[in-house]
Structure 1
Amino acid sequence: MELTHDTAHPTGIPSELDSAQAKLVYFYLEASEGATATDLHQSLGLPKLAILSVLNSLASQGLVEQTDATYVATDSTRRNN
Protein backbone atom coordinates (compact mmCIF):
# COMPACT_ATOMS: atom_id res chain seq x y z
CA MET A 1 0.00 0.00 0.00
CA GLU A 2 1.45 3.33 -1.05
CA LEU A 3 0.68 6.43 1.00
CA THR A 4 0.53 9.73 -0.78
CA HIS A 5 0.63 13.13 0.76
CA ASP A 6 -0.89 16.05 -1.07
CA THR A 7 1.25 19.08 -0.24
CA ALA A 8 -0.89 21.51 -2.21
CA HIS A 9 -2.50 24.15 -0.07
CA PRO A 10 -5.58 25.79 -1.56
CA THR A 11 -4.54 29.35 -0.82
CA GLY A 12 -1.33 29.24 1.17
CA ILE A 13 0.20 31.75 3.48
CA PRO A 14 1.15 34.96 1.65
CA SER A 15 4.89 35.19 1.10
CA GLU A 16 4.99 38.76 2.43
CA LEU A 17 4.25 37.51 5.95
CA ASP A 18 7.50 37.08 7.83
CA SER A 19 6.48 37.07 11.49
CA ALA A 20 5.18 33.95 13.16
CA GLN A 21 2.35 35.91 14.81
CA ALA A 22 1.19 37.35 11.48
CA LYS A 23 1.22 33.90 9.87
CA LEU A 24 -0.69 32.41 12.80
CA VAL A 25 -3.35 35.14 12.80
CA TYR A 26 -3.73 35.03 9.01
CA PHE A 27 -3.97 31.22 8.97
CA TYR A 28 -6.56 31.27 11.76
CA LEU A 29 -8.66 33.86 9.92
CA GLU A 30 -8.48 31.89 6.70
CA ALA A 31 -9.39 28.61 8.40
CA SER A 32 -12.19 30.07 10.49
CA GLU A 33 -13.61 32.33 7.78
CA GLY A 34 -13.29 35.30 10.13
CA ALA A 35 -12.98 36.22 13.79
CA THR A 36 -12.97 39.17 16.15
CA ALA A 37 -9.85 40.36 17.95
CA THR A 38 -11.30 38.85 21.14
CA ASP A 39 -11.85 35.50 19.39
CA LEU A 40 -8.23 35.54 18.21
CA HIS A 41 -6.97 36.48 21.68
CA GLN A 42 -8.92 33.68 23.34
CA SER A 43 -8.13 31.03 20.72
CA LEU A 44 -4.48 31.80 20.09
CA GLY A 45 -3.47 32.94 23.56
CA LEU A 46 -1.67 36.01 22.24
CA PRO A 47 -1.95 39.36 24.01
CA LYS A 48 -4.83 41.40 22.62
CA LEU A 49 -2.52 44.35 21.93
CA ALA A 50 -0.32 42.08 19.79
CA ILE A 51 -3.40 40.76 17.97
CA LEU A 52 -4.57 44.30 17.19
CA SER A 53 -1.11 45.28 15.96
CA VAL A 54 -0.93 42.24 13.67
CA LEU A 55 -4.46 42.85 12.37
CA ASN A 56 -3.58 46.48 11.61
CA SER A 57 -0.47 45.38 9.73
CA LEU A 58 -2.36 42.69 7.79
CA ALA A 59 -5.10 45.17 6.89
CA SER A 60 -2.58 47.75 5.67
CA GLN A 61 -1.09 45.06 3.39
CA GLY A 62 -4.54 44.21 2.04
CA LEU A 63 -4.42 40.70 3.50
CA VAL A 64 -7.40 41.07 5.83
CA GLU A 65 -10.56 43.13 5.79
CA GLN A 66 -12.63 44.32 8.73
CA THR A 67 -16.42 44.28 8.76
CA ASP A 68 -17.74 45.70 11.98
CA ALA A 69 -15.69 43.86 14.63
CA THR A 70 -14.94 40.80 12.46
CA TYR A 71 -11.75 40.35 10.49
CA VAL A 72 -11.55 38.04 7.47
CA ALA A 73 -8.69 37.00 5.21
CA THR A 74 -9.08 38.61 1.80
CA ASP A 75 -9.67 36.51 -1.27
CA SER A 76 -6.27 35.49 -2.64
CA THR A 77 -7.44 35.93 -6.24
CA ARG A 78 -8.24 39.59 -5.58
CA ARG A 79 -4.83 40.14 -3.96
CA ASN A 80 -2.99 38.74 -6.95
CA ASN A 81 -4.78 40.90 -9.54
Structure 2
Amino acid sequence: MSIETTPLSPLPDELDSPRSKLVYLSLATTGGATLDELQNGLDLPKITLYTVIRSLRERGLVNQDGESLTLAS
Protein backbone atom coordinates (compact mmCIF):
# COMPACT_ATOMS: atom_id res chain seq x y z
CA MET A 1 0.00 0.00 0.00
CA SER A 2 1.42 3.39 -0.94
CA ILE A 3 0.57 6.73 0.53
CA GLU A 4 0.29 9.67 -1.83
CA THR A 5 1.60 12.96 -0.56
CA THR A 6 1.30 16.43 -1.95
CA PRO A 7 4.53 18.39 -1.75
CA LEU A 8 4.24 21.59 0.24
CA SER A 9 5.69 24.81 -0.95
CA PRO A 10 8.64 25.92 1.14
CA LEU A 11 7.97 28.05 4.16
CA PRO A 12 8.26 31.77 3.48
CA ASP A 13 11.46 33.29 4.83
CA GLU A 14 9.54 35.88 6.83
CA LEU A 15 8.06 33.23 9.11
CA ASP A 16 10.23 33.36 12.17
CA SER A 17 8.11 32.04 15.03
CA PRO A 18 7.36 28.35 15.47
CA ARG A 19 3.66 29.12 15.96
CA SER A 20 3.39 31.07 12.72
CA LYS A 21 5.09 28.19 10.90
CA LEU A 22 2.68 25.74 12.53
CA VAL A 23 -0.40 27.74 11.50
CA TYR A 24 0.96 28.28 7.98
CA LEU A 25 1.68 24.56 7.51
CA SER A 26 -1.71 23.62 8.92
CA LEU A 27 -3.46 25.90 6.41
CA ALA A 28 -1.23 24.56 3.63
CA THR A 29 -2.07 20.94 4.38
CA THR A 30 -5.80 21.42 4.96
CA GLY A 31 -6.42 23.94 2.21
CA GLY A 32 -7.95 26.34 4.72
CA ALA A 33 -9.66 26.41 8.08
CA THR A 34 -11.65 28.53 10.48
CA LEU A 35 -10.22 29.87 13.71
CA ASP A 36 -12.16 27.22 15.65
CA GLU A 37 -10.77 24.46 13.44
CA LEU A 38 -7.23 25.74 13.94
CA GLN A 39 -7.76 25.97 17.68
CA ASN A 40 -9.05 22.41 17.88
CA GLY A 41 -6.49 20.95 15.50
CA LEU A 42 -3.42 22.74 16.88
CA ASP A 43 -4.47 22.98 20.53
CA LEU A 44 -3.52 26.65 20.72
CA PRO A 45 -5.44 29.33 22.63
CA LYS A 46 -7.57 31.63 20.47
CA ILE A 47 -5.73 34.71 21.72
CA THR A 48 -2.49 33.22 20.37
CA LEU A 49 -4.12 32.36 17.06
CA TYR A 50 -5.51 35.91 16.70
CA THR A 51 -1.99 37.30 17.02
CA VAL A 52 -0.44 34.79 14.63
CA ILE A 53 -3.18 35.19 12.02
CA ARG A 54 -3.00 38.99 12.20
CA SER A 55 0.74 38.79 11.57
CA LEU A 56 0.30 36.37 8.66
CA ARG A 57 -2.40 38.61 7.13
CA GLU A 58 -0.24 41.73 7.49
CA ARG A 59 2.56 39.94 5.63
CA GLY A 60 0.18 38.97 2.83
CA LEU A 61 0.53 35.24 3.52
CA VAL A 62 -3.03 34.48 4.61
CA ASN A 63 -6.42 35.61 3.30
CA GLN A 64 -9.53 35.82 5.43
CA ASP A 65 -12.99 35.63 3.93
CA GLY A 66 -15.53 35.78 6.74
CA GLU A 67 -14.48 33.01 9.09
CA SER A 68 -12.47 31.08 6.49
CA LEU A 69 -8.68 31.40 6.44
CA THR A 70 -6.62 30.29 3.45
CA LEU A 71 -3.10 30.80 2.20
CA ALA A 72 -2.65 33.72 -0.16
CA SER A 73 -1.86 32.67 -3.70
TM norm structure 1: 0.79
Unmatched tracts of structure 1, length 5 or more: 1-8, 76-81
- Matched letter for residue 17 of structure 2: S
Runs of 4+ in 1 over 3 A off after TM superposition: none
Q: 1:39 to 1:10 in 2, by over 3 A?
A: closer
- Identity, % of aligned positions: 37
Work out which of the two has the higher radius of gyration on C-alpha atoms and give 1 or 2.
1
1-side partners of 2:69 and 2:51: how far apart? 13
- Matched letter for residue 68 of structure 2: T
Give 1:10 deviation, angstroms.
4.2
1:31 is aligned, of 29, 40, 49, to 29
Give 1:11 deviation, angstroms.
1.3
2-side partners of 1:11 and 1:43: how far apart? 21
TM norm structure 2: 0.87
Q: How many residues align?
A: 67
Mapping for residues 1-81 of structure 1, pairs under 5 Å:
9-75=7-73
RMSD: 0.9
Unmatched tracts of structure 2, length 5 or more: 1-6
